[in-house]
Structure 1
Amino acid sequence: MSYELFYWDGIQGRGEFVRLAFEDAGADYVDVTREPGRGTGEMMRLMESTVEAHIPFAPPFLRHGDQIISHVANILFYLGPKLGLAPKAEAQRWFANGLQLTIADFIAEVHDTHHPIATSKYYEDQKQEAKARAAEFVTNRIPKFLGYFERVLEQNPDGGGHAVGGGASYVDLSLFQVIEGLRYAFPKAMRHYEPQYPGLLKLHASVKSRPNIAAYLASPRRLAFNENGIFRRYPELDIAP
């Protein structure tokens, strides 16, 4: 039974955190809106359905048989054990879910650097507010979140450079994507901060070298970062801390 991922076509966005798990595991999945004959229309019909009992509020969401699961952390909590990307111990699984929810908070703050007033308005309509929000994000929020995840890596009792447990998990893959996105959107800031977080850099390199991830990154399935996604490169927002 194929997994069906529903997310906006043309951007990595939040859907990329789920794609990385599928790709690393070599799972059989369909990126629905990128499929000829299906596209965004099928996703919108499901979201706007008047008969589906479990309608999702927004993408990404997953359909697996009769099951529909929305929200990145919720999707990965469901997929992790099935794809071999979650710890076996229940307590560690809940901790992994908490880490993924913290990543979700971080991603929301990344988004708000370029859309601090309203998602319905263009970036150009809120540039001054975006500069103020991005300055706060670069100065205080990047080190707040990255410092936390660095400590998580340092204090993992199972070691091995993983976020939770003794093996790779979906949290490791998501932290890789966070670093990739920050490097794209805030290269100046990241050049300043990266030396402070050797554990995260080691984790990033380890994930990037995983065979299935390396193949995915080199393939056309990996969409490029662009200024329609969550991580956007606006030079005026990338300040030196």
Structure 2
Amino acid sequence: MAYELYYWDGLQGRGEFVRLALEEAQAPYVDVARGEKKDGLGIGAMMGELEGGEPYPPYAPPFLKDGDLIVPQTANILFYLGPKLKLAPHNEGLRFVANGLQLTIADLVTEAHDTHHPIASGLYYEDQKDAAKARSADFIAHRMPKFMSYFERVLTQNPDGPRHMVGNALTYVDLSMFQIVEGLRYAFPKATKHFADHYPHVVALRDAVAKRPNIAAYLDSERRLPFNDTGIFRHYPELDRAVR
């Protein structure tokens, strides 16, 4: 049976981290909101059904349906899928390391989102532009470098070498780091112009992932939605600035 991925249509968002793992593994899946499952429920209907009868309904997309099992939250989904897709370390202890790194990535994703919606998600960007400028300035100057320096250090200190975030083989964390670099470069092209100088191992990992045959094919397909102004990573020129 194909995995069913439930996420909002028209944007990459948090669902993209799951898509990258499924695409790399060539796992059968359907992106339900995009109409690939003709006899399935849409997200709104599915959420309503789960709220009405499911004892442990997900709070919000993304969530994955595998048969009767429903797995919510991006990091949790990847922790579940990793061993099944052979994208997790064989060592059980390292699987928890990978999960911890994915949760740290989730923290960064939240902070990136809050650069353009620092006051409330329910408000339009135009209603909080001044606050967004202040939040973005701090993110570029302090928060983004702190996260990226940490990821660079993880790669540098990996006992198996800096080619992977965990262990000596590709994991879902590597795929997620690719998405992080892509998203930050889209949102802040000026601020990330010298990423390769500051975080060479992170950028080398991004480049290696982009060259993987299954990922390259996915990126060149219509399944890979473009970044846009409804996703997590948004490019507003007034929020970007060059850094040394």
TM-score for the superposition, normalised by structure 2? 0.96
Q: Secondary structure at the match of 2:226?
A: coil
The answer to whether the aligner puts 1:48 opposite 2:67 as a matched pair is no
Q: Determine the C-alpha separation between the residues in 2 that align with 1:166 and 1:95.
A: 13
Q: Which runs of 4+ in 1 moved over 4 A?
A: 36-41
Q: Secondary structure at the match of 1:18?
A: helix
1:226 corresponds to which letter in structure 2? N
**How far apart are residue 192 of structure 1 and its match?**
3.3
Identity of aligned residues (%): 61
Q: Secondary structure at the match of 1:161?
A: coil
RMSD of equivalent CA atoms: 1.4
Q: 1:40 to 1:235 in 2, by over 3 A?
A: farther
Q: Secondary structure at the match of 1:48?
A: helix
- Structure 1 stretches lacking a partner, 5+ long: none
Q: Determine the C-alpha separation between the residues in 1 that align with 2:8 and 2:2.
A: 19
| Paired position in structure 2 for 1:163 | 165
| Paired position in structure 2 for 1:34 | 34
Q: Determine the C-alpha separation between the residues in 1 that align with 2:207 and 2:23.
A: 17
2:225 corresponds to which letter in structure 1? L
| Paired position in structure 1 for 2:67 | 65
Q: 1:111 to 1:40 in 2, by over 3 A?
A: farther
**How far apart are residue 13 of structure 1 and its match?**
0.4
**How far apart are residue 36 of structure 1 and its match?**
5.5
Aligned residues: 241
The C-alpha deviation readout for 1:9-55, integer Å capped at 9, x for no partner, is 00000000000000000000000000167599621222223112221
| Paired position in structure 2 for 1:234 | 236
| Paired position in structure 1 for 2:78 | 76
Of 193, 197, 206, which aligns to 1:204? 206
Q: Determine the C-alpha separation between the residues in 2 that align with 1:160 and 1:25.
A: 22
**How far apart are residue 240 of structure 1 and its match?**
1.8
Q: Which 10-residue stretch deviates more, 94-103 or 53-62?
A: 53-62
Q: Determine the C-alpha separation between the residues in 2 that align with 1:39 and 1:128.
A: 45
| Paired position in structure 1 for 2:181 | 179
2:14 corresponds to which letter in structure 1? R
Q: Determine the C-alpha separation between the residues in 1 that align with 2:221 and 2:19.
A: 13
**Contact 2:155–2:163 (CA<8 Å) still a contact in 1?**
yes
Q: Secondary structure at the match of 2:190?
A: helix
- Structure 2 stretches lacking a partner, 5+ long: none
**Contact 1:46–1:52 (CA<8 Å) still a contact in 2?**
no
Q: Secondary structure at the match of 1:69?
A: strand
Q: Which 10-residue stretch deviates more, 62-71 or 28-37?
A: 28-37
Q: Determine the C-alpha separation between the residues in 1 that align with 2:104 and 2:37.
A: 36
**Contact 2:195–2:203 (CA<8 Å) still a contact in 1?**
no
Q: Determine the C-alpha separation between the residues in 2 that align with 1:132 and 1:39.
A: 46
**Contact 2:118–2:128 (CA<8 Å) still a contact in 1?**
yes
Q: 1:33 to 1:72 in 2, by over 3 A?
A: same
TM-score for the superposition, normalised by structure 1? 0.97
**Contact 2:82–2:172 (CA<8 Å) still a contact in 1?**
yes
**How far apart are residue 229 of structure 1 and its match?**
0.2
1:110 corresponds to which letter in structure 2? A
**Contact 1:73–1:104 (CA<8 Å) still a contact in 2?**
yes
| Paired position in structure 1 for 2:97 | 95
**How far apart are residue 194 of structure 1 and its match?**
3.2
**Contact 1:114–1:127 (CA<8 Å) still a contact in 2?**
yes
Q: Determine the C-alpha separation between the residues in 2 that align with 1:138 and 1:162.
A: 25
| Paired position in structure 2 for 1:10 | 10
